Amino acid sequence: GAYVEPGGGRDLALLRLETPLPLGPTLRPLCLPYSEHQRPPGTRCWALLAPNGSSIPKELVNVEVTLSESCGTRGDLTDDGEVLSPPDTFCITVPEGTSACQPDGGSALVCEERGIWFLLGTASVGGCAQGGPPLFTATPNYERWVAGITREAYFAETPPDPREEEEEEKEPTENPGAREHPKPTENPGVGGSPNTWRQA
């Protein structure tokens, strides 16, 4: 089930590795989206899912993201039979005929937006084993929290569509996709609300 802290459900954690990962052609970091991030129409999203009855994700599946308001009350059941749907979540649906429908807890939901790969969510609860679609924690809602803990995280904007925007000369900047965040604090809090992450 989801980790729920006293202040409410926030099924997300940050880890600092003792040894940096060896990045290369087959291992690259994902960009973190801003809190007001909106997915362009036709965005491709992928999740690593396992077939029903299996605990090992085996298949990379092209999935459809659904807004949290449309997920209803689908999620894990508590001991009292009540449905647990943590805040700041959204659900996914898999194509018909796809047997893979169960994510590994904490696994990534990644979306490609005009050549940039974003970490849009992490697997929280739900899935075919619980009788409903998987629920994912919406990472854009935690921009302020992540930025308050580490300024090393790279937040990025969706690159503009060259077909929709005219060419403009701009002065080069050191990091054109980044913006200033508050300095780390003891209790940075969570930025945004379930409604700040929305579909374009």
Long-range residue pairs from 105-111, CB within 8 A, at least 24 positions apart, any chain: 106/13, 107/47, 107/48, 107/57, 108/30, 108/47, 108/48, 109/45, 109/46, 109/47, 109/63, 109/65, 109/136, 110/30, 110/45, 110/46, 110/47, 111/39, 111/43, 111/44, 111/45, 111/46, 111/65
Is the predicted pLDDT of residue 169 greater than 90, yes or no?
Answer: no
Whole-number pLDDT of residue 101: 76
Considering the domain boundaries, does residue 35 fall inside one?
A: yes
Considering the domain boundaries, does residue 150 fall inside one?
A: yes
> Rounded CA gap, 63 and 76, in Å?
20
Considering the domain boundaries, does residue 155 fall inside one?
A: yes
Considering the domain boundaries, does residue 148 fall inside one?
A: yes
Considering the domain boundaries, does residue 44 fall inside one?
A: yes
| Beta strand segments in the chain, E | 4-5, 8-9, 32-33, 38-39, 44-51, 59-66, 76-77, 83-84, 89-93, 100-103, 108-113, 116-127, 132-138, 155-156, 198-199
Q: What is the pLDDT averaged over residues 93-108?
A: 78
If you average pLDDT over every residue of the chain, what do you get? 70
In this prediction, residue 1 has a pLDDT band, given cuts at 50, 70 and 90, of very low
Is the predicted pLDDT of residue 76 greater than 60, yes or no?
Answer: no
> Rounded CA gap, 198 and 200, in Å?
7
> What would the pLDDT profile of 81-90 be if each residue is shown by its tens digit?
444 556 788 8
Is the predicted pLDDT of residue 118 greater than 70, yes or no?
Answer: yes
Considering the domain boundaries, does residue 191 fall inside one?
A: no
Q: The domain spanning residue 32 has which CATH number?
A: 2.40.10.10
In this prediction, residue 70 has a pLDDT band, given cuts at 50, 70 and 90, of low
| pTM greater than 0.75 | no
Whole-number pLDDT of residue 197: 42
Distance separating the N- and C-terminal Cα atoms of the chain: 30
The total number of structural domains in the chain stands at: 1
Domain with 134 in it: 28-160
Considering the domain boundaries, does residue 61 fall inside one?
A: yes
Considering the domain boundaries, does residue 193 fall inside one?
A: no
